[in-house]
Structure 1
Amino acid sequence: MAALTITATLSGCGADSAGEVTLKLVAADYGSNSANTSQKYWDELARAYEKKTPGVKIDVTVLSWKDVDREVAEMVDRGEAPDMAQIGAYADHARAGRLYSADTLLSVPTQANFLPMLRQAGEVDRAQYGMPFGASTRMLFFNEKLFQEAGATPPGSWDELQKAAQKLKAKDVKYPYALPLGPEESQAETMMWLLGGGGGYRDTTGTAYQIDSPANVETFGWLKKELVGKGLTGPVAPGELDRQEAFDAFVRGEVGMLNGHPTLMATAEKAGVKVGTVPLPGVAGKSKATLGVADWMMAFKQNGHRKEIGHFLDFVYQDKNVMAFSDRYDLLPVTVSASDAMEADEQHAAMRPFLEELAGSELYPVGDTSWARVSESVKKNIGRAVAPGGEPRAVLEQIARDARSAQSSASAR
């Protein structure tokens, strides 16, 4: 029934009998309930735009993150693409020639205002198709009360993290370090640890996967032996612990340390957990980079509304609108001017460390159509690398084979 409703909403040419253009936008829901659904944000923004732009209507459908990428792909397959989609992945649509490039849509000031590393991440063959919309990065979170009671100090390296975890365990902290390698979002936790060990998903050229590199094998060997093997990751096996479960446990005060993002910080502090943050530790000091994450706006060619889409997106990316969305969902702005404004505002002082880390962060290889299959392989397999009887090298080699196969298939298209 829901699918039929969506189809009815999005079908049609997008212009009514009076010559009015209706732009169809499908967007992901960043809210956790009906009170803070993204539908409210987009409805307010759409009405404000319509008020100043006679002849253009904005029709917004907001779907859950669980469904939105799949629903948009099904709309495209039915020949009913929306004018715009704000979802998690753009590369498949760009490679298939379905999208307008950003330079054909946006004014020069708008396109130039995207944070450079996010603008580059939205490129396919050096043309930008993915426009960043909402960003976050990761830092190591620790429960200040539990640390104080355990006599632990915030870690700056893996050895220091292990020592802090041992002190927390001695004080019966349920999860000294929460290691979520379950299928929900283990590709994120994995990438953070790989970066900390001097490796990563891709080689230094950024063109080939290196998942079974010596550095990556050593990283998961250390995790298996020094954290999981010593009982420092809690009662749930990492391969069965999803990110949201770990976050919920942190909010309940059951976790000493985990890798978190700004939304979790706000949620935990509202629950009375005093949160400390430090940059992600690495094997011999601060990690070479942290994980950066961005979601994407894209514009489909099918309905032909290039001029109207571009004008609307110039409005969407005005500072006041970027800041309103970032504030509502504890995200980082995706534009230079809005980031500068957030950094200068004392009310956003807690976000400054995340802004600083974002500049040097590393994103998933989202411009590569093979990434979706690689990510799925990580989610399916990585938990076994640290399980009793598991062999990190063998697991990483399996994921590497899947990555090579995915990249070959993408290249053959």
Structure 2
Amino acid sequence: MGQAVQRRFVGVTAVVAALGLTAALSGCGADGGSGDVTLKLVAADYGTGAENSSQKYWDDLAAAFEKKNPGIRVDVTVRSWKDVDREVAEMVKAGEAPDIAQIGAYAEYAEAGDLYPASEMLAIRTESNFLPSLSDAGKVRGSLYGLPFVASTRLLFYNKGLFDAAGIDAPQTWDDISSDAEALKKKGVTYPFALPLGPEESQAETLMWMLSGNGGYTDDAGTYVIDSAANVETFKWLQSDLVGKGLTGPVAPGKLDRATAFEAFTKGEVGMLNGHPTLMEDAEKKGIEVGMVPLPGADGPTEGSMGVADWMMGFKQNGHRKEIGRFLDFAYQDENVLAFADAYDLLPVTGSASAEMEADAKHKPLHDFLSALPNSQLYPFGKTSWAQVSEAVKEKIGSAVEPNGNPEIVLGDIAAVARDAESAQ
């Protein structure tokens, strides 16, 4: 759910015929010849192998679009999440930008002037249909450049069977988490609370906990406040009341990746952890009865969930503004948005598709995640500095909760990286 929904749903490289990454025009296109244009689209793979690769979705979408839009062809290249952002960056650097990219980050391209703003590509009805919280996260200097593609939110997952065996109820506060974890530990649960602060996706786990303590990466004005008093207190609590009491399992949080924690949950080895929709389905397939509640906060349930989004963008290089816009207007029709969300248990990013999902009983398992999305807090995607800050979090945050760690110093170090990155712009 970029890193978001990867972070989240990392796929392997699709086994597909490699499509050329350089511009291919079936006619003169922008030069004014036959009017035929070939759009290059590079997209991330949300699948876990060839059998559920995103390639099929994009090939089907391209074929349907071409049928309705004679004269425009769409060449699709799907790459794994571990490669796609780097490959697009290399293409742009080499002067071979795609026309459309569906990847994890947009801000650097927007700042460099490489992208069309949404207002120059999309029909008004398309642009206005994005959920406001996601649309806001896609803006640079007030203009929308990163078009939300799919989204996810996070809730606290707990194993109902383990909770019943320990005679405990779902937690609502930090104190509840600690006492529930102690009860689970007494019952021999391997990971009473799995706390993945390893390098895979600790920037997500970090934000969830910051929000639960009334903090966050930035303030309302968008300024980094990583080492705020609220954030420091949150990590002091994690250090003393979870890690320090031996309630986070046999692997130190700084060494525990999300994928490992999720796998342990599906095996019945985890009492509680923060999860997303895909984990719900995976766990239930393994016979785990899953309970879900908003992440507990210091005094009660956290009011805003963490949200994750990935992005679509249109590059200026080949001059195909109108054709890109036509394709994007088509891609964001409800049936197409919902088809992708359905395929990967993700959330739609438009108001109309969200309303349709909410009204459909077959999507009931996703309704709690869907209701959390409008008020969700996303990473500061619009900051070109975010990539550096995210890497610093992945590298350092695990040490904040070590027995001899110092949360104030660790958060201060990350805040210094943020300041330096901001000043370098």
TM-score, normalised via structure 1 length = 0.96
- 1:270-312 deviation line (CA, Å, top 9, x unaligned): 1211111001110110113211011000000000111111001
Counterpart pick for 2:20 among 9, 12, 16: 9
For residues 135-154 of structure 1, the aligned pairs below 5 Å read: 135-154=151-170
Cα distance between partner residues in 2 of 1:145 and 1:278: 16
Q: C-alpha displacement at 1:170, in angstroms?
A: 0.7
Query: 5+ unaligned residues in a row in structure 2: which ranges?
Result: 1-12, 29-33
Q: Which residue of 2 aligns with 1:128?
A: 144
Determine if contact 1:14/1:24 at 8 Å carries over to the other structure: no
- Which of 323, 329, 338 is equivalent to 1:323? 338
Alpha-carbon separation, structure 2, partners of 1:96 and 1:14: 25
CA offset at residue 16 of structure 1?
3.2
TM norm structure 2:
0.93
* Percent sequence identity over aligned pairs: 63
Q: Give the aligned partner of residue 362 of structure 1.
A: 377
In the alignment, is residue 96 of structure 1 matched against residue 107 of structure 2? Answer: no
Q: CA deviation at 1:19?
A: 4.8
Q: What are the Cα deviations for residues 46-65 of structure 1, in whole angstroms up to 9, with x where unaligned?
A: 11111222111111100111
326, 330, 333: which one aligns with 2:348: 333
SS of 2:393's equivalent in the other structure is helix
Aligned AA (2:276): H
Q: What is the alpha-carbon distance in structure 2 between the residues aligned to residue 8 and residue 184 of structure 1? A: 29
After superposition, residues 218-229 of structure 1 pair within 5 angstroms as 218-229=233-244
By how many angstroms is 1:31 displaced?
Answer: 0.5
CA contact (8 A) 1:137 1:291 kept: yes
Q: Offset of 1:253 from its aligned partner?
A: 1.1
Picking from 195, 206, 212, the partner of 2:227 is: 212
Contact 1:198 1:288 in 2 (8 A): no
Q: Deviations over 1:317-356 (max 9, x none)?
A: 0000000000000000000000000001111111111111
Mapped partners of 2:407, 2:385: distance in 1: 23
Q: CA deviation at 1:242?
A: 0.4
Shift of residue 8, structure 1, vs aligned partner: 7.2
Q: Is the 8 A contact 2:23 2:40 kept in 1?
A: no
Gaps of 5+ in 1: none
Aligned residue type for 2:264: A
**2:18, 2:77 within 8 Å by CA — same for their partners in 1?**
no
Q: Call closer, same or farther: CA 1:8–1:327 in 2, change over 3 Å.
A: closer
Match of 1:197 in 2: 213
CA distance, structure 1, for counterparts of residue 75 and residue 422 of structure 2: 37
What is the deviation of 1:7?
Answer: 9.6
Looking at structure 2, the residues matched to 65 and 252 of structure 1 have their Cα atoms a distance apart, in angstroms, of 26
- Number of residue pairs the alignment of both structures matches: 406
Please say if residues 7 and 75 of structure 1, whose CA atoms lie closer than 8 Å, have aligned partners that are also in contact: no
Distance 1:259 1:118 in 2: 21
Q: Report what 1:252 is aligned to.
A: 267
Rounded to whole Å, the distance in 1 between the matches of 2:184 and 2:375 is 31
- Compute the displacement of 1:392 (Å): 0.8
Matched, 1:81 2:100: no
What's 1:307 paired with? 322
Deviation digits for residues 158-210 of structure 1, max 9, x if unmatched?
0011111111111111111000000000000000001111111112322x111
Task: Give the one of 70, 87, 102 matched to 2:86.
Answer: 70
Secondary structure of the residue that 1:99 maps to in structure 2? coil
Asked if the contact 1:13/1:303 (under 8 Å) is kept, the reply is: no
CA contact (8 A) 2:198 2:394 kept: yes
Q: Structure 2: how far apart are the matches of 1:6 and 1:191?
A: 39
Instruction: Return the match for 2:47 from 14, 31, 34.
Output: 31
In the alignment, does 2:394 pair up with 1:383? no
Alpha-carbon distance in 2 for matches of 1:375, 1:143: 30
Task: String of CA shifts for 1:204-253, please: whole Å, max 9, x gaps.
Answer: 322x1111111111110000000001010000000000011111111111
- DSSP 3-state at the match of 1:183: coil
User: Which residue identity lines up with residue 11 of structure 1 in the other structure?
Assistant: T
Contact 1:14–1:303 under 8 Å retained in 2: no
Structure 2 distance, partners of 1:116, 1:66, is: 29
Q: Following the alignment from structure 1 to structure 2, what is the Cα–Cα distance between the partners of residues 300 and 6?
A: 24
Contact map agreement 1:28 1:62 (CA 8 A) in 2: yes
